[in-house]
Copies of this chain bind each other. A is one copy, B any other.
Amino acid sequence: MPPKPRRTERRSDALSKERIIAAAIDVLDTDGEGALTFRALATRLTTGSGAIYWHVANKDDLLAATTDHVIAQAMTGARVDAAPDDAIRAIALAVFDAIHARPWVGTQISREPWQSGTRRIFEGLGQQLQALGVPERAQFDSASALVSYMLGLAAQYAAGARLVARKTSRTGFLTDVVARWTQDEPDQYPFVQQIADELREHDDREQFRAGIDLILAGIAAIR
């Protein structure tokens, strides 16, 4: 006699939060942030748009869940068995790479930073700061500085990717920004003028790494 199906067992085509999240990630990856609507999601899941609300509170909830999913994955991939400062670099770069691969994660995490994705990052960095020997009274501020920096760069990167989608390439987008930033009132902005070439040609990942190093140097100096 086969066991009675438990309440948690479901037909594989039944709707679930996991299936909805997977479909949402697929839409976001394939067609971009603007394409994620409940109607599109319902079509892809061959269901009614109202059905999604049985598993998900609303769009914010859905976006929070997808973002947390991606961040959790990225954090799992980060090598944390290295020296504490290298582990911090690894965590930061893992998050950077996840956002590089999916710019919509950057949009979401900078729009709603008080969610569990941020908690994961905070925890991962905090543990390494402790291992690094940062005094307890400085741990919160140090972790917070790292997180804020990462969120800020995530926002820039996501915004850039959104523009790239409309323009041709990344170079084209930065060329555009530099053009706008240097053309009017150039004498009012000598510094921007000076770093224009670097801005146009810099490597995002390298600059991100440099910023993390700067903050780590600051933490070391204060310690």
Contact = CB atoms under 8 A, between A and B. Distances in A.
Contacts of A222: 213-214, 217
For chain A, give the interface size range: 35 or more
Interface stretch (A8-16, A77-85, A149-157): A149-157
A112 B148 contact: no
Interface stretch (A24-32, A48-56, A189-197): A189-197
Most buried by B among A111, A113, A150: A113
A160 B207 contact: no
A23 interface: no
A22 interface: no
B140 A202 contact: yes
A106 to B, nearest CB: 10
A144 B222 CA distance: 21
A165 interface: no
Contacts of A119: 181, 189, 192
Given A149-B152, A152-B155, A153-B148, A219 B214 contact: yes
B127 A190 contact: yes
Contact of A114 (B116, B139, B156): B156
Contact of A218 (B159, B160, B198, B217): B217
Contact of A198 (B140, B149, B191, B213): B140
Interface string A36-53: 000000000000000000
Interface of A: 107, 110-114, 116, 119, 122-123, 126-127, 130, 139-145, 147-156, 159-160, 163, 177, 180-181, 188-192, 194-195, 198-199, 202, 207, 210-211, 213-222
Given A123-B191, A140-B207, A152-B153, 15 more contacts: A110-B111, A116-B180, A116-B181, A119-B181, A123-B188, A126-B191, A139-B195, A142-B214, A148-B149, A151-B151, A151-B156, A152-B155, A214-B219, A217-B218, A221-B221
